[in-house]
């Protein structure tokens, strides 16, 4: 059967609520990840170094740079993302022969489709959020380029135009597309196993710690595997039109060029820089998002 209007409405509301809750709780981890992967990431020896220096020099408030944009713009993005995933998953399941199409293929395809659609909304949010997150007084930037969310939008539009807000669009799809596809493949398979083990029809009937653990593990694994793509995406988004802040700002012409140059200069360690913070962020964020999503949707 197709998704009913009531079911779609519940999916929409639950996804928006879950996205906002997760973003507010986990934003500092995303900030540390962005700073480690960004143009000044070499200043931090580790995640703990980034935490220590960020709080000591920029203050605790700086950990929430870009939160306004992430909540206001990212919440609709999460709503579109999860709603599109559910609709696409149902569509594929209802029109395919289960004997010919393995379930994970549908989850993989639905994750990719959902990411491609939500990126129309999410890429500008990501660009603004990450430019605010990576600016710091640690090292080069003695004066911050952007004073806040609105100032960032105005300056990006003035210098780079609308294209500036969509910088790294293809790289974002190439980064988040595989992540979403892998996450939902891992999550749906583990969810099916959990329901079978506990002999339950819904995840809301499974102990909450199981739901949290499965979504956290799925998010962590998908995040680690796609970490180099995310690092390349961030570096491309951080390039600032005509306002360079360091000699490395114009180094990359595209995602492949970026990954190649990072590998040549820093090896695999460079490609996976910030992966620890990325894994921590997505494990925490998706544990909250998917657990809240499943439980709010079931009400």
**Nearest Cα to 151, choosing from 139, 135, 138, 167?**
135
Q: What is the pTM of this model?
A: 0.82
- Residue 38, pLDDT score: 82
Nearest to 233 by CA among 150, 177, 151: 177
9-16: average pLDDT: 79
Rg (CA), the chain: 19
> What would the mean pLDDT of 90-114 be, rounded to a whole number?
80
* Per-residue pLDDT, 224: 96
- pLDDT tens, 16-61? 888 888 889 999 999 999 888 887 787 888 888 889 988 988 889 9
Of the candidates 276, 212, 288, the one whose C-alpha atom is nearest the C-alpha of residue 33 is 276
| H/E stretch holding 6 | helix 5-37
Residue 4's pLDDT is what? 60
pLDDT at site 145: 82
Q: What is the pLDDT of residue 243?
A: 45
Question: What pLDDT shows up at residue 129?
Answer: 92
The model's pLDDT over 235-254, given as tens digits with 9 standing for 90+, comes to 888 776 544 445 544 578 88
Stretch 221-244: mean pLDDT, rounded?
82
Average pLDDT over residues 191-210: 87
- What was the pLDDT predicted at 240? 63
Per-residue pLDDT reduced to its tens digit, 133-181: 988 777 655 677 888 899 999 999 998 899 888 888 888 898 899 999 9
CB atoms near residue 124 (< 10 Å): 21
Residue 14 reports pLDDT greater than 90: no
pLDDT higher than threshold 60 for residue 92: yes
Closest CA to 39 of 217, 210, 250: 250
Give residue 5's pLDDT band: very low, low, confident or very high (50, 70, 90).
low
Cα torsion 80, 85, 86, 87: sign: positive
* pLDDT for the residue numbered 263: 93
Percent of the chain with pLDDT over 70: 90
Among 37-41, 62-66, 98-102, 139-143, name the one with the lowest average pLDDT: 139-143
- Looking at residue 244, its pLDDT comes to 46
- How high does pLDDT run on average in the chain? 85
pLDDT level of residue 285 (50, 70, 90 thresholds): very high
pLDDT band with cut points at 50, 70 and 90 for residue 287: very high
Query: How many whole angstroms separate alpha carbon 228 and alpha carbon 26?
Result: 21
């Amino acid at each position: 059967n197709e998704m009913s209007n009531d079911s779609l409405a519940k999916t929409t509301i639950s996804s928006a609520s879950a996205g906002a809750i997760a973003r507010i709780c986990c934003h500092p981890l995303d900030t540390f990840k962005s700073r480690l992967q960004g143009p000044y990431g070499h200043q931090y020896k580790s995640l703990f170094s980034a935490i220590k220096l960020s709080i000591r020099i920029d203050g605790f408030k700086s950990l929430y740079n870009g939160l306004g944009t992430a909540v206001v713009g990212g919440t609709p993005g999460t709503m579109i993302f999860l709603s599109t995933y559910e609709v696409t998953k149902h569509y594929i399941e209802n029109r395919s022969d289960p004997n010919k199409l393995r379930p994970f293929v549908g989850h993989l395809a639905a994750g990719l489709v959902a990411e491609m659609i939500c990126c129309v909304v999410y890429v500008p949010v990501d660009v603004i959020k990450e430019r605010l997150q990576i600016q710091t007084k640690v090292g080069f930037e003695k004066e911050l380029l952007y004073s806040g969310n609105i100032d960032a939008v105005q300056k990006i539009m003035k210098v780079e135009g609308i294209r500036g807000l969509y910088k790294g669009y293809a790289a974002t799809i190439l980064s988040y597309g595989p992540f979403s596809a892998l996450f939902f493949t891992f999550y749906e398979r583990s969810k099916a196993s959990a329901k079978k083990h506990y002999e339950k029809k819904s995840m809301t009937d499974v102990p909450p710690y199981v739901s949290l653990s499965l979504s956290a593990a799925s998010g962590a694994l998908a995040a680690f595997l796609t970490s180099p793509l995310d690092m390349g995406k961030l570096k491309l988004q951080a390039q600032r039109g005509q306002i360079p802040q360091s000699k490395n700002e114009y180094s990359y012409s595209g995602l492949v060029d970026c990954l190649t140059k990072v590998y040549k200069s820093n090896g695999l360690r460079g490609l996976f820089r910030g992966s620890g913070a990325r894994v921590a962020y997505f494990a925490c964020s998706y544990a909250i998002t998917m657990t809240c999503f499943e439980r709010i949707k079931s009400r």
